[in-house]
Amino acid sequence: MSMVTEEKRQIALKRAEELKERISDYLEYKKKIPTGFKEWNKIKERQEKIKEIFGASEAEWKDWKWQLRNRINKVETLKKFFNLTPEEKDISLTGSKFRWAVVPYYLSLIDPENPADPVRLQSIPSIEEYFDASGVMDPMAEEFTSPALAVTRRYPDRLIINVTNQCPSYCRHCQRRRNIGEVDRQAPREEIKVALKYIAENEEIRDVLLTGGDALMLSDKTLDWILTELDNIPHVEIKRLGTRAPVTLPYRITGELCQMLSRHLPLYINTHFNHPLEVTPDSRDACWALARCGINLGNQAVLLKGINNHPLLMRNLNQELLKIMVRPYYIFHAKGVRGTRHFRTRVEEGIEIMEQLRGYTSGLAVPTFIVNAPKGYGKTPMLAEYLVSMGANKLLIRTWEKRILEYENDEDI
Ligand SMILES: *Cc1c(COP(=O)(O)O)cnc(C)c1O
């Protein structure tokens, strides 16, 4: 090896040391994060206990309809699993204002010894919801952006069909909780037909998103019907489903469902993982099954105080998601929805999270941080600043490590 090459190698080795140092804090932190994979044995033990209480077989446990029929929504049942905290003990009162229910699978992820368990905070009502007088029920003014029954339209070329208000479990941070009434309501076929007619008559709509509620609460048959109708509209190029089933009810992803969905490509699914604890072997099986059918999976997390408002935790979540073939898509700032104030963070926290993703980890693990503009004016990215200043022929840029460098901006170079 020549001297010059040896010198270059030495420089590269020194740089590699520096790079290792950049993530030493993360490597330490990562060891302590409970993930669904690390906790799986304990989760399985809890599942055995739940099955015993319900007298359920393994086949019933893996049957999504059994899971839905046996949702936990009574204090007495909940008390069999853990002692309620002071914030939880008035659960019936809170429940009278905001509906609650948890499917047994999602409940099994909760560590009963941890009052601040991230799945617990997302699914068990807190009295803070009841006493929250801040915020409004509909901060995105969705009720003013519905040009046709069941449709929400805020963008030029795409829209939402609200197909159901049902979900496997009701998130305590739900931004559409005004739709989650005491009764399950699927949009009747007549309503969906009106939405389909609107899409057929508006040629600029090339992207249709089925959501609610949770799109996978519809039967395979109903979904198949809607997707077929959309396939028959020539200007509809892609279809998307919004569902949290891969997180809260992975058993919904059956072989039959996958087969049916694979007949409707191109199809994209966006799901909603908020914490690495939710990324379990069962979720992986569900996501891989969808991916094998040619379905592209994305994640829309919500930044939630006490659950995932930590840059290193978010880094881990996004890395865990890539392992199960889910591409981080958005992180949403929690809007001012009544009953969710205790989860709200400042916008700066989200920007800090983004700063600690870019460069530190795969670009694939970097979603976009979004604030929803008031009055339904749309998703608005909140970006960390990498352009320091723009001169006539030069930029000042800031790298992920916060190095300030000059960058030529001259077409003749
Ligand atoms: C979020 C949303 C979409 C999809 O937005 P993308 O940025 O394309 O993912 C479409 N319509 C409405 C009404 C929405 O709220």
One domain for residues 218 and 354: yes
The secondary structure of 104-127 as a DSSP string is: HHHHTTS-TT-TT-HHHHHHS--H
- The reply to whether 8 falls in a domain is no
Q: Using CA atoms, how far apart are residues 350 and 371, in angstroms rounded to an integer?
A: 10
Q: Tell how far the Cα of 101 is from the centroid of ligand 1, in angstroms.
A: 27
One domain for residues 232 and 124: yes
Using the atom order of ligand 1, give the atom closest to the CA of residue 159.
11
One domain for residues 288 and 391: no
Using the atom order of ligand 1, give the atom closest to the CA of residue 154.
13
Q: Are strands 387-390 and 394-398 parallel, antiparallel or unpaired?
A: antiparallel
Which CATH number characterizes residue 234's domain? 3.20.20.70
Q: Tell how far the Cα of 154 is from the centroid of ligand 1, in angstroms.
A: 7
- The reply to whether 19 falls in a domain is no
Q: Structural domain of residue 408, as residue ranges? A: 386-413
One domain for residues 210 and 74: yes
Give the chain's residues under pLDDT 50: none
pLDDT of residue 92: 86
Contact between 381 and 390 (Cβ < 8 Å): no
One domain for residues 153 and 65: yes
- The reply to whether 259 falls in a domain is yes
- The reply to whether 186 falls in a domain is yes
pLDDT of residue 108: 98
Residue ranges lining ligand 1, Cβ < 6 Å: 152, 154-155, 158-160, 209, 379
Q: How many CB atoms within 10 Å of residue 168?
A: 25
Q: Tell me which of 176, 209, 211, 380 to substitute to probe ligand 1's pocket, judged by most ligand atoms within 8 Å of the beta carbon.
A: 209
pLDDT of residue 1: 56
